[in-house]
Amino acid sequence: MSDGILTAVDKYLDRPREACGVIGIWGKARNVQVVHLCYLGLYALQHRGQEGAGIVTYDGTKMRLCKGAGLVPEVFDEDSLADLEGFSGIGHVRLAVRGERHVVNTQPFSVRSSYGSLAAAHNGSLLNGKELREQLLSQGTVLQTDSDSEIILNLIARSGAGSLPEAIARTLEIMEGSYALVILGEDMLLAARDPWGNRPLTLGEVEEGYIVASESCAIANLGGEIIREVEPGELLILDGLGWRTYRHKSAARKALCSFEHVYFARPDSCIGGKNAYLVRKAIGRELAKEAAVNADVVIGAPDSGVAPALGFAEAAGLPFEIGVIKNRYVGRTFLRPTQADRRTAVRIKLNPVVDVLKGKRVAVVDDSIVRGTTSGKLITLLRDAGAREVHMYVASPPYRFPCFYGNEPSSQSELVASGRTVGELKDLIGADSLHYISIEGLVRAIGIPRDQLCLACFSGEYPITPANYRREDDGEEHL
Ligand code: SF4
């Protein structure tokens, strides 16, 4: 993107970035058309990826694919949706992580194989993707993208198994890492979740068919019923007989990404059986119990700080107010004429409610501090609006370690909390005080045992560690 296009507004949203959402639908009859369900489901999952989207459908004779860069409504129009005929389909919204930004990596991927036409899309990251890629290349496979989905399709196609489910089971056996995977074949749709349950995936039913989606909100938004979350290490087959379950692999423990509850998941989704909005409120309550609160009013950083701020205000016995208004209509094409207008650009996106803030000691609750750029700007904004004191409360522990499981940032150098004390961070962002929830407090609020959660970006203890995984940023072998 050129400098002439305003990227500051997007960069202002300094958050860990979720990499992708998936959906798959198998129609209950051959005359069902699923494309609009896929489209609307991707719309509901848009928060999981804004850089690209794609849908593949199968109509009984051939697979049809449409994908491209941008938001879901930018990628598809009435004509392209009309072309995507079929009683089954899979879809994907993409957020490119490091090294995968080229549009050629947009999912799903579609190939022809000895198992017939196949398409795949995934959310997550293969820790042994580099080794599997090198292995395929050494066997003469031509790979055109950096995407793990292309590797997965090639592994399936080359498996030599007697049936598609068997080929997928063999492929899952050699895949290491985190994933929620959907694979569309001619006679069935298969969905798999990694053995640790790191990436979320939910099974549901709509009138027209069975559906799997990264989050329950996509199923609920289609008027569907949630059947249940796909189990860690489970392989589901959706076909003309309904749905069947198989176990493809088991792990010694579960490791659901705790950031799903902190930030990634939409508030109306349930992950690990817990509603994300209610968990965020509970995090705010825990935070207020743990930290000293000296404030007149509580506000949430828009929008992801609002739910924990509500819980925080409730537990602290303080009024909750909307202290900053976010302009929802500032889009990706908003133009910033010069660098000097950067500050104005931020104000166009976020504007303080002066009468709420003036002369007050303000407790501002945010979900996380990742690169630190957001918090400093927000605090300046509040002080400029007349806040007497600004105390920052963070609804996740210090984000000190990179994520290797498909979420950004995946490099320690990007993390402002890495190598800094809380006091140094307070000074850096310009707050009067800075308080983080503890790991124990976060676990209590989520309500899932610690040994079933991934907390690696806070603790540095990585639950998914295949022996041959090499962290690319430091070049060391980690067992
Ligand atoms: S390290 Fe674990 S908890 Fe942190 S973002 Fe990655 S998967 Fe989620």
Reduce the secondary structure of the chain to three states and give it as a string.
Answer: CCCCECCHHHHHCCCCECCCEEEEEEECCCCCCCHHHHHHHHHHCHHHCCCEEEEEEECCCCEEEEEEECCHHHHCCHHHHHHCCCCEEEEEEECCCCCCCCHHHCCCEEEEECCEEEEEEEEEEECCHHHHHHHHHHCCCCCCCCCHHHHHHHHHHCCCCCCHHHHHHHHHHHCCEEEEEEEECCCCEEEEECCCCCCCCEEEEECCEEEEECCHHHHHHCCCEEEEECCCCEEEEEECCEEEEEECCCCCCCCEECHHHHHHCCCCCEECCEEHHHHHHHHHHHHHHHCCCCCCEEEECCCCCHHHHHHHHHHHCCCECCCEEECCCCCCCCECCCHHHHHHHHHHHEEECHHHHCCCEEEEEECCCCCCHHHHHHHHHHHHCCCCEEEEEECCCCCCCCCCCCCECCCHHHCCCCCCCHHHHHHHHCCCEEEECCHHHHHHHHCCCHHHEECHHHHCCCCCCCCCCECCCCCCECC
Whether pLDDT at 344 is above 80:
no
Give pTM, 2 decimals.
0.91
Q: What is the pLDDT of residue 6?
A: 30
Q: What is the pLDDT of residue 17?
A: 60
Q: What is the pLDDT of residue 3?
A: 31
Question: Ligand 1 pocket, 123 CB below 6 A?
Answer: no
Residue that is written with structure tokens 């817990």 in the block: 274
Q: What is the pLDDT of residue 12?
A: 36
Cα separation, 312 vs 159, whole angstroms: 53
Cα separation, 138 vs 140, whole angstroms: 5
pLDDT digits (tens, 9 = 90+) for 10-29: 333 456 665 699 999 999 99
Provide the sign of the torsion angle of the four alpha carbons 399, 404, 409, 412, taken in this order. Answer: positive
How remote is the CA of residue 456 from the centroid of ligand 1, in Å? Answer: 6
How remote is the CA of residue 191 from the centroid of ligand 1, in Å? Answer: 22
Provide the sign of the torsion angle of the four alpha carbons 220, 222, 227, 229, taken in this order. Answer: negative
Cα separation, 111 vs 226, whole angstroms: 31
Q: Amino acid identity of 253?
A: R
Whether pLDDT at 352 is above 90:
yes
Q: Class assignment of domain 8-257?
A: alpha beta
Residue that is written with structure tokens 């989050």 in the block: 215
Angle at 252 between CA 249 and CA 255, to 5 degrees: 90
Question: Ligand 1 pocket, 257 CB below 6 A?
Answer: yes
Burial 64-80 (b: 16+ CB within 10 A, else e): bebbebebbeebbeeeb
Mutation probe of ligand 1 site: the residue of 256, 403, 462, 473 with most atoms within 8 A of C-beta: 403
Q: Name the band, by pLDDT with cuts 50, 70 and 90, for residue 155.
A: very high
User: How do 389-394 and 361-366 pair as beta strands?
Assistant: parallel
Question: Ligand 1 pocket, 457 CB below 6 A?
Answer: yes
189 and 182 in contact (C-beta within 8 Å)?
yes
How remote is the CA of residue 405 from the centroid of ligand 1, in Å? Answer: 7
433-436, strands of its sheet edge to edge? 297-300, 361-366, 389-394, 433-436
Whether pLDDT at 470 is above 70:
no
How remote is the CA of residue 282 from the centroid of ligand 1, in Å? Answer: 20
Q: Class assignment of domain 279-447?
A: alpha beta
Cα separation, 28 vs 230, whole angstroms: 20
Cα separation, 195 vs 253, whole angstroms: 8
Question: Ligand 1 pocket, 265 CB below 6 A?
Answer: no
Question: Ligand 1 pocket, 368 CB below 6 A?
Answer: no
309 and 300 in contact (C-beta within 8 Å)?
yes
349 and 12 in contact (C-beta within 8 Å)?
yes
297 token code pair: 């009013």
In ligand 1, the atom with minimum distance to the C-alpha of 401 is 1
Q: What is the pLDDT of residue 374?
A: 83
CA separation, residue 408 to residues 15, 282, 283, 428, 443 (Å): 9, 25, 22, 22, 21
In ligand 1, the atom with minimum distance to the C-alpha of 456 is 1
Q: Name the band, by pLDDT with cuts 50, 70 and 90, for residue 373.
A: confident
Residue nearest to atom 6 of ligand 1 (CA): 403
pLDDT digits (tens, 9 = 90+) for 62-81: 999 999 999 999 999 999 99
Cα separation, 221 vs 263, whole angstroms: 20
Q: What's the whole-number mean pLDDT along residues 397-402?
A: 93
Question: Ligand 1 pocket, 356 CB below 6 A?
Answer: no
Q: What is the pLDDT of residue 340?
A: 53
Mutation probe of ligand 1 site: the residue of 126, 254, 256, 257 with most atoms within 8 A of C-beta: 257
Q: What is the pLDDT of residue 350?
A: 86
Provide the sign of the torsion angle of the four alpha carbons 228, 230, 231, 234, taken in this order. Answer: positive
How remote is the CA of residue 38 from the centroid of ligand 1, in Å? Answer: 27
In ligand 1, the atom with minimum distance to the C-alpha of 399 is 4
Q: Where in the chain is the domain with CATH 3.40.50.2020?
A: 279-447
25 and 209 in contact (C-beta within 8 Å)?
yes
Whether pLDDT at 4 is above 50:
no
How remote is the CA of residue 453 from the centroid of ligand 1, in Å? Answer: 9
Q: What's the whole-number mean pLDDT along residues 137-166?
A: 94
Question: Ligand 1 pocket, 403 CB below 6 A?
Answer: yes
Residue nearest to atom 7 of ligand 1 (CA): 257
Whether pLDDT at 451 is above 70:
yes
Question: Ligand 1 pocket, 264 CB below 6 A?
Answer: no
Q: Where in the chain is the domain with CATH 3.60.20.10?
A: 8-257
Question: Ligand 1 pocket, 179 CB below 6 A?
Answer: no
Mutation probe of ligand 1 site: the residue of 17, 259, 370 with most atoms within 8 A of C-beta: 259
Neighbours of 292 (CB within 10 A): 9
Residue nearest to atom 4 of ligand 1 (CA): 457
Q: What is the pLDDT of residue 97?
A: 60
Catalytic residue numbers read: 20
